[in-house]
Amino acid sequence: MDNGLERRMSNYEPLWNEWYIDSFAGENPTGVMYRLKDKNGRKSAVRVLTVDSRVSKRPLSELTSAAIGRINDKMRLAGEAFIVSARNFTVKNHENIGSAPVAADILVQTDEYEPLSAITAKGQLPYMTARKLADNICRGLRTAHKAGFTFGDICPENIWVDSEGHFCLDAPCTFDPKRADPTYAAPETQTEGFDPYKADIYSYGLVLYRIFNGGLLPLQQPDGDPAEAVRARMNGAAFDPPRGAPPELQRFIMQCCMAHPETRYESMDEVYRVLRQLTVDHVPTEYEECNFCDICTPTPRPKKQTVHPVSQPKEVQPNQPQTEEQPREIRESKGMKLYVMVLLYILLFAGVGFLLFSIFFLK
């Protein structure tokens, strides 16, 4: 975390005349988040994004003006589920003694979240958690599109987790379509006049592709360069379905990632309708065996060579997370059944004994 930012945040207090920094909440490449509290104990959070004209080669006034416009558009979605809220904002220019400011901090008041990287750093997302992420982000996108808002920068770095464990999609105010990262971009974004709604569907599909492909992008090898894979995809190279997804989910993801916009799903309404029809009745062994790297890191880790025994997928209840605690719960369930059976036998013998006693001794 930037010590300079900490000092500046201390100087900005109280934020919006009532909020004070409580603690550090999280950080990813798109910004830093702090927890806030007021004198009455109420809680909130602030997202801090820094813009610098020396880095972007654009006037600071242009950078801040574009950010303010995007924040105002996003504030219409405040309070909507599965979307990172923007409730208030302010722009603080960095002091530049003797010269005009060249950098600024953009502070956006929001709810408390933690970055997705805080979860993926612990290991591969459990399959049921990955399916929950697909559902939550789909619903957030659907809500935003209905309100006329498009993201343009859908990627793991812009996915956050709220206090209830829901996955929420963010739209950083510093996004610049002309300088967007092509890692998750649709091919048509390289030209003018593309449909941003269809481009969002493609990016959503590509995020899911990486999640269900062991952390690898399309055309990327476990020890390969992600940038080369991105260039090949943007140049029109075809790619195989994600190897860790079951067939019906593979078809869904590939439909989102069709190279031509007109061959993708028509809208997020259709995407949501199809996704809801996909059953979740087991954890595919292909997913558990397909684990090459963290989806929130650009550089893949070589996969360890291990031998996986052939086994049937474990049956789980739909929408019920598969966790490491399940074997213990199964053992507890078996123990409870044994206890009940023994108790029933005791009651049976007691009943028979009482019956015999009644016949022979109570006459």
Residue 146 has pLDDT above 80, yes or no: yes
Amino acid 320: pLDDT = 41
Helices of type H across 193-300: 196-211, 226-234, 247-256, 268-277, 285-289
Q: How high is the pLDDT of residue 340? A: 63
Q: How far is it, in rounded angstroms, from Cα 88 to Cα 342? A: 63
Confidence bin at 317 (pLDDT 50/70/90) = very low
CB atoms within 10 A of CB 213: 24
Q: Would the CA dihedral through 69, 207, 82, 45 be positive or negative?
A: negative
Which residues is 90 bridged to in the sheet? 107
The listed range with the strongest mean pLDDT (271-275, 305-309, 323-327) is 271-275
Q: Tell me: the pLDDT tens digits for 42-72?
A: 999 999 999 999 988 899 999 999 999 999 9
What pLDDT score was predicted for residue 36?
97
Residue 127 pLDDT: 95
Q: Are 64 and 91 in contact, with CB atoms under 8 Å apart?
A: yes
Looking at per-residue pLDDT, the higher value among 172 and 16 belongs to 16
What letter would DSSP give residue 83?
A: B
| Helix, strand, or coil (residue 314) | strand
- Percent share of the chain, pLDDT over 70: 86
Q: How confident is the model at residue 256 (pLDDT cuts 50, 70, 90)?
A: very high
pTM for the structure as a whole: 0.78
- Cα separation, 72 vs 114, in Å, equals 23
Contact 113, 47 (CB under 8 A): no
Residue 195 scores a pLDDT above 90: yes
- pLDDT higher than threshold 70 for residue 111: yes
Per residue in 126-145, pLDDT tens?
Answer: 999 999 999 999 999 999 99
User: Where do the domains of the chain lie, and which CATH numbers do they carry?
Assistant: 1-112 (3.30.200.20), 116-342 (1.10.510.10)
Instruction: Kindly state the average pLDDT of the residues 218-247.
Output: 95
Higher-confidence residue: 305 or 15?
15
Cβ atoms 231, 286 nearer than 8 A: no
**Alpha carbon of 298 to those of 176, 219, 237, 344: distances in Å?**
20, 14, 20, 60
Range 215-235 average pLDDT? 94
Average pLDDT of the chain is 86
Alpha-carbon distance values, 10 to 3, 22, 55, 103 (Å): 11, 11, 25, 18
Q: Which H helix or E strand runs over 27? A: strand 20-28
pLDDT at 334: 47
Task: Note the pLDDT of residue 316.
Answer: 37
Give the pair of three-digit tokens for residue 238: 């075809």
pLDDT in tens, 295-309: 887 544 434 334 343
Give the pLDDT confidence score for residue 338 in this predicted structure. Answer: 63
Sign of the Cα torsion 279, 79, 9, 71 reads: positive
Which pLDDT score is estimated for 312? 37
Q: What pLDDT score was predicted for residue 198?
A: 97
pLDDT at residue 123, rounded to an integer: 87
* Rounded distance between C-alpha atoms, residue 104 and residue 82, angstroms: 28
